[in-house]
Structure 1
Amino acid sequence: MTNETELLQLPDYSIEYTPTQIKIHNFEGLQRAVNAYAQRYANVIVTDDTEKSAKDSRAKLNKLSNALDEKRRDIHRDYNKPYDEFADTIKQLRSVLQNTIDPIDDGLKELDGQHREQRKEHVQALITEMAPNYGVSASDIEIDPKWLNKSTSKKAVTEGVAVVMKQVKQAQDKFKSDSHALTKYAEVNKVDAAPWIDQLKQGQDLDYLFKAIDNQVNLRKQKQKELEAQAAEAKTHQTTKGDTTIDTNTGEIAEHSVVLRITTTIEEMKLLKNYMDQRGIKYQRAGV
């Protein structure tokens, strides 16, 4: 075990350096001392009994390591000083030029913005001109940013617009066809087509919507069967007095007939009819 009060010191050494060379005088002695101290403490075993001395050894070694690093930082600061002064000088010279460059740069950006806006107007005019030939509305065509690039030729813009218009027309025709088919399918199944059309607009697949309508219809039929079964069971203990049906078990009114005159649109009337069908409500058409 080493003497805990022993001071660890590095041998005297100095550093001479130039902007291109750093030389450590007495490096061999410095290296021998570092190796010797490292070897001296290389086999320290840390236990409860040696904890205090181990911490002291670590502190001494850290002090030596920090002394070496502090010397390195000193040299680094001095070594960088000529370059830092040079860099500051160059920055000052560049700032003189930058003060002139900035207004020119701003002017060019403003001019480029004006040219881009002019190209946008030309592209919009081209879209307006071409739209009727493809059966689409100019408002349906979104301008592709690359059409506004200075490097994009008029031919490329025209071809690009044509491609987009064809795609838009195909999408519109498909939606129209799918919408018609979906509406007819909804009418046949006595369901409101509006919510299904909304889903179609959002990009939902037509076959998926057909299946969804089928599921809704099946659920409605199942519900109708349940209502009919409940109604059949209820009739076993019901009696009719005039327009009123009374539950003989509870004495409560089970059914009651009223005459209503309803005025609304045809579509709303269809919705009302579908609702009454789904709820098992009996009705009949009366004379006007």
Structure 2
Amino acid sequence: MVNETELLQLPDYSIEYTPTQIQIHNLEGLQRAVNAYANRYANVIVTDDTEKSAKDSRAKLNKLSNALDEKRRDIHRDYNKPYDEFADTIKQLRSVLQDTIDPIDDGLKELDGQHREQRKQHVQSLITEMSPNYGVSASDVEIDPKWLNKSTSKKAVTEGIAGVMKQVKQAQDKFESDSHALTKYAEVNKVDATPWIDQLKQGQELDYLFKAIDHQVDLNNQKQKKLEAQAAEAKAHQKIKGDAIVDTDTGEVVSHQFVLKITGTNEQLWALRHYMDQQSIKYEKVGD
């Protein structure tokens, strides 16, 4: 095992290299030739009549340009060769060290994960312990990832949990109060409160829901008046025969009358009434 106080260092070594000088012999002649070729074709006008010769000129110029670039690539490969060999050697040496570094790195990551899980369990225990004092359920408190950081103090975690629990409690109290008010408002307007409570759960504002109920009641009243007018018109051409209502114009049985005794919770009975209103089913209370 390596002594923890041992200083790891590489032995003295040096790298010798000589910067390469790239010199073009007869550069002036090369420049003159390139300028001469460029000038020769500088004023070529492309028309239907000169298209063929223009393409030939372009091909010759491209050939010269490619020849220059090929020479550049040859020099670049030779220039880079000693560096590429040096870089490969360094990569091989680093690979030997990396083969040892990787398992250590994996072990540290695994250990960090274990420590983080231990901190998470501690935070969850703290939440469970504190939740009764704030009147909330531990399941309602979501763990903030920063509470699991090694650098976060226990005091900061405790204060963070307390702050979240206060917010949760305030939100729950507000929902309970708003839900009660919304239920009463729905009952007064004789509508089912369930769908409105669902919207409240989704974060809809109470004032908006009050206005929405008013609007729905207006629509229901308009629909009911229309149905009543239609029923009155139809009733003028109907008569009762036994338990059936018959259209006097066509002789068709348009509906039946039944006496039912229905038992259910308040919510069920409100839902049933709402359904019958939607379906234009006539009903009336019999007895007390």
Query: What is the TM-score when the length of structure 1 is the normalising length?
Result: 0.88
Which residue identity lines up with residue 283 of structure 2 in the other structure?
K
| Alpha-carbon distance between aligned partners in 1 of 2:258 and 2:107, rounded to the nearest angstrom | 81
Residue number in structure 2 paired with 1:283: 284
Q: Is the 8 A contact 1:19 1:79 kept in 2?
A: no
Unaligned 5+ segments in structure 2 are 1-17
Q: Is the 8 A contact 1:227 1:280 kept in 2?
A: no
Residue number in structure 2 paired with 1:8: none
| Alpha-carbon distance between aligned partners in 2 of 1:158 and 1:248, rounded to the nearest angstrom | 80
Which residue identity lines up with residue 113 of structure 2 in the other structure?
G
Deviation digits for residues 30-83 of structure 1 (CA, Å, limit 9, x no counterpart):
011101100000000111111111101000000000000000000000110111
Q: Is the 8 A contact 2:191 2:270 kept in 1?
A: no
Which residue identity lines up with residue 219 of structure 1 in the other structure?
L
Q: Is the 8 A contact 1:245 1:253 kept in 2?
A: yes
Residue number in structure 1 paired with 2:143: 143
* 1:262 and 2:262 correspond: yes
Which residue identity lines up with residue 229 of structure 2 in the other structure?
A
Which residue identity lines up with residue 223 of structure 2 in the other structure?
K
Residue number in structure 1 paired with 2:252: 252
Q: Secondary structure at the match of 2:23?
A: strand
How far has the Cα of 1:169 moved from its partner? 0.9
How large is the RMSD of aligned CA atoms in angstroms?
1.8
Residue number in structure 1 paired with 2:10: none
Q: Is the 8 A contact 1:141 1:165 kept in 2?
A: yes
Q: Secondary structure at the match of 2:246?
A: strand
Which residue identity lines up with residue 105 of structure 2 in the other structure?
D
Q: Secondary structure at the match of 2:142?
A: coil
Which residue identity lines up with residue 69 of structure 1 in the other structure?
D
Tell me whether 44-53 or 250-259 shows the greater mean CA deviation.
250-259
Residue number in structure 1 paired with 2:5: none
Residue number in structure 2 paired with 1:217: 217
| Alpha-carbon distance between aligned partners in 2 of 1:245 and 1:95, rounded to the nearest angstrom | 95
Q: Is the 8 A contact 1:247 1:254 kept in 2?
A: yes
Which residue identity lines up with residue 93 of structure 2 in the other structure?
L
Residue number in structure 2 paired with 1:178: 178
Q: Secondary structure at the match of 2:22?
A: strand
Residue number in structure 1 paired with 2:77: 77
Q: Is the 8 A contact 2:182 2:193 kept in 1?
A: yes
Which residue identity lines up with residue 225 of structure 1 in the other structure?
K
Percentage identity across paired residues of the two chains: 82
Residue number in structure 2 paired with 1:128: 128
Residue number in structure 1 paired with 2:29: 29
Alignment of 1:154-169 (within 5 A): 154-169=154-169
Q: Secondary structure at the match of 1:246?
A: strand
Query: What is the TM-score when the length of structure 2 is the normalising length?
Result: 0.88
Residue number in structure 1 paired with 2:90: 90
